[in-house]
A and B are shown apart, each in its own frame.
With several copies, the nearest count.
Chain A
Amino acid sequence: MNNLAISLPGLELKNPIMPASGCFAFGREYSEFYDLSKLGAIIMKAATGTERFGNPTPRVAETASGMLNAIGLQNPGVEKIIEKEVPFLAQYDTSIIANVAGSTLEEYEKVAAAFNQTDQVQALELNISCPNVKEGGIQFGTDPFMAAKVTETVKKASKLPVYVKLSPNVTNITDMAKAVESAGADGLSMINTLTGMQIHLPSRKPLIANKTGGLSGPAIKPVAIRMIYEVKQHVSIPIIGMGGVSNAEDVLEFLLAGASAVAVGTANFNNPFVCPEIIDSLPETLNRYGFDSVKDAIGKGIM
């Protein structure tokens, strides 16, 4: 058996590595660098009920070992994604995870239901944590009651397993995780970005036009590892880990903390080949630290 393989609800992954939502669009650009069939899965950019243009620019800024972004869920809308993007990705031998976003319960429901039309998507990632949507997205992500509610709604609307993507901008991440687990979540995805801001001194204005943006990259890895470890002690659904991963050692750290698969976001921007490179070096890295397989390493941090 392939020692990188891992089975999760709805997902038979040949390896645990997948690009994170929003950092890979719908795969077309990176498909020019390498064969997307290498990937364990692909998490698509957020889909909303209708087309969105997103926030004004500048939308990104660099920070120490990280970056801020406030893209604002720019996407062509769920119908176009199903029509044009999913079939493109379905050419490849990899799993497709759809990132579902919205401003209202109804929008979430609509988007989730829309993905029932296609057989080419294997799971949903429920984005209740995007800090860049003003209408209410943020409330879903920081209030356990609202998070449970949207999870239930989406579970009812969809035939697919649902991974709820948690926001780190909360006092108690375990409460959030437990709430969505009780509401029927099949898995968790964590973490999304920490809300941050950077002020451009010459203009005295925030560098990001939206004022605040989401902090990602190696800077936030310690927060991600802590939250995944904490949550893992209290839930029994699997976790897709992310936050600052840029090499195979980072992946192993996430596995030890309790993640069952790992998404790579920001690191794609500096190195378009980061995902296949991690996949290629993972077996040796597992080995070096005494593990036979990915499965073997999950949650094996000694606390």
Chain B
Amino acid sequence: MMKKENVVIKSVEQIALDTVEMVVKNPYISQKAIPGQFLHVSVEGHTLRRPISIADINRENKTITILFKMVGSGTAKLAALNPGMSFDVLGPSGNGFQTEGNESSTILLIGGGIGVPPLYYLGKELAKQNKEIISVLGYQTRANVFSEEMFRRLGKTFIVTNDGSYGEKGFVTDVIQKAGYFDYYYSCGPLPMLKAVTAKLADKPGMISLEERMGCGVGACMACVIPTDSEGGYKKICSDGPVFHTQEVSL
């Protein structure tokens, strides 16, 4: 269950262009979070909280890792905090990637940019279940690349940059065929990428993680809806998602 919790910063490090890795400590969230869930982060001086995915968990140390890109005033302010300081989050929020009951043997992870982080925690959990893991990670350019080594430790990993300055050149969809056989996929990244991925892999089962601007982050304000074909006609990304089965939502 999501709670309002205080987290204490353990470390803050810039790991790529405008991209920050932050490790925070919180006993409750570190025990409860599953891959794909997010923290809804309160940033001083800001009316709305910022949703940031959980990129890793260390249950023993009670820490949570988040990776975020500085894109505006909220993420910039967050990045300027120092170890020892603390902030307030709602978490773990949302519904994450379901891995139980997934009988697939080989899993493809497809991440784009700041959509890569949640796939790492997912990959680690899948590895524990003895799945074979293949990763295709796309970035804009060399300077944006991060987490490569961590994914390589999970399995075969392809890096793609839009400008070819590192790894393959192009989009993640250009590289998927090189990945070889897989029977299930998980993907997180910008909407155009998810559209291309789900179109290309229309015949494969998979789950995707979506983004939308949020008000409450708890399901109460109806800011973050996405149309579905199911009864209600819509789902809320903050509380029904952010992770959905590909057939569940219409992108």
**CA–CA, A29 to B222, complex, Å?**
12
Chain B residues with CB under 8 A of A272:
4, 90, 216, 218
Kindly state whether residue B217 has any CB partner on chain A within 8 Å: yes
Interface residues of A (CB under 8 A from B): 22-25, 28-30, 32-33, 45, 51, 53-54, 57-63, 65-67, 69, 71, 74, 76, 207, 217-218, 266, 268-273
Q: B47, A269: Cβ atoms under 8 Å? A: yes
Q: Using Cβ atoms and an 8 Å threshold, which residues of chain A touch B221?
A: 22-23, 25, 60, 69, 71, 269
Q: Does A57 lie within 8 Å of B223, measured CB to CB?
A: yes
Determine whether the beta carbon of A69 is less than 8 Å from that of B223.
yes
Beta-carbon contact of A32 and B2 below 8 Å? yes
Contact A60/B223 with A66-B47, A270-B42 known, Cβ cut-off 8 Å: yes
Q: Is the CB of A29 within 8 A of B47?
A: no
Q: How far is the CB of B55 from chain A (nearest CB, A)?
A: 24
Q: Which 6 A-B residue pairs are closest in the complex by CB-CB distance? A: A25-B220, A58-B213, A60-B223, A29-B220, A60-B215, A29-B219
Q: Considering the chains assembled together, what is the distance between the CA atoms of A30 and B215 in angstroms?
A: 14
Cβ–Cβ < 8 Å partners of A53 in chain B = 225, 227, 233-234
- The interface on chain B, measured as residues whose beta carbon lies within 8 A of the other chain's beta carbons, has a size of 30
B152 to chain A minimum Cβ distance, whole angstroms, is 33
Asked whether, in the complex, the Cβ of A268 is within 8 Å of the Cβ of B216, the reply is yes
Which residues of the partner chain A approach B214 to less than 8 Å between Cβ atoms?
60
CB proximity of A19 to chain B, nearest CB, Å: 9
Chain B residues with CB under 8 Å of chain A are 1-2, 4, 42, 46-49, 74, 90, 212-227, 232-234, 239
Q: A64 — nearest CB in chain B belongs to which residue?
A: B47
- In the bound assembly, the distance between CA atoms of A269 and B47 in angstroms comes to 8
Residue contact A32 to B1, C-beta cutoff 8 Å: yes
Q: Are B47 and A62 in contact (CB under 8 A)?
A: yes
> Inside 8 A of A273's CB, which chain B residues have their CB?
4
Known: A23-B221, A25-B219, A25-B221. A57 touches B47 (CB 8 A): no
- Bound form: Cα–Cα A127–B35 in Å: 41
- Do most interface residues of chain B lie in helix, strand or loop, or is the interface mixed? loop
Q: Other CB < 8 Å A-B pairs besides A32-B1, A53-B234, 6 of them?
A: A58-B213, A59-B215, A59-B224, A62-B46, A269-B216, A271-B4
Q: What would 29 A/B residue contacts be, using CB atoms closer than 8 Å?
A: A23-B221, A24-B220, A25-B219, A25-B221, A30-B218, A51-B233, A53-B225, A54-B222, A57-B223, A57-B224, A57-B225, A57-B226, A58-B212, A59-B213, A59-B215, A65-B47, A67-B47, A67-B215, A71-B221, A71-B223, A218-B47, A268-B216, A268-B220, A269-B49, A269-B217, A269-B221, A271-B42, A272-B4, A272-B90
- Contact A266–B47 (Cβ < 8 Å): yes
Q: A residues within 8 A CB of B49? A: 269-270
A65 CB contacts on chain B under 8 angstroms: 47
Contacts of A69 in B (CB 8 A): 215, 221, 223
Is B216 within 8 A of A23, CB to CB? yes
Distance in Å from the Cβ of B185 to the closest Cβ of chain A? 25
Q: Quick check: A25 and B47 within 8 Å, CB to CB?
A: no
Known A63-B47, A272-B4; contact A57-B216, beta-carbon cutoff 8 A: no
Report Cα–Cα, A23/B224, bound state, in Å.
Answer: 13
B48 touches A270 (CB 8 A): yes
**Contact between chains at B213 and A74 (CB < 8 Å):** no
* Separation of A71 and B4 alpha carbons in the complex (Å): 25
Contacts A66-B47, A269-B49, A272-B4 given; indicate if A59 touches B222 (C-beta within 8 A).
Answer: yes
Measured in the bound complex, the distance between the Cα atoms of B40 and A271 in whole Å is: 11
Closest chain A residue to B74 by CB distance?
A62
Residues in A whose Cβ lies below 8 Å from that of B47: 62-63, 65-67, 217-218, 266, 269-270
Closest chain A CB from B38 CB (angstroms):
15
Inside 8 A of A30's CB, which chain B residues have their CB? 218, 220
For A59, the chain B residues whose CB sits under 8 A away are 213, 215, 222-225
- B42 contacts which chain A residues (CB < 8 A)? 270-271
Residues in chain A near residue B219, CB distance under 8 A: 25, 28-29
Whether the pair B220, A71 counts as a contact (CB closer than 8 A) is no
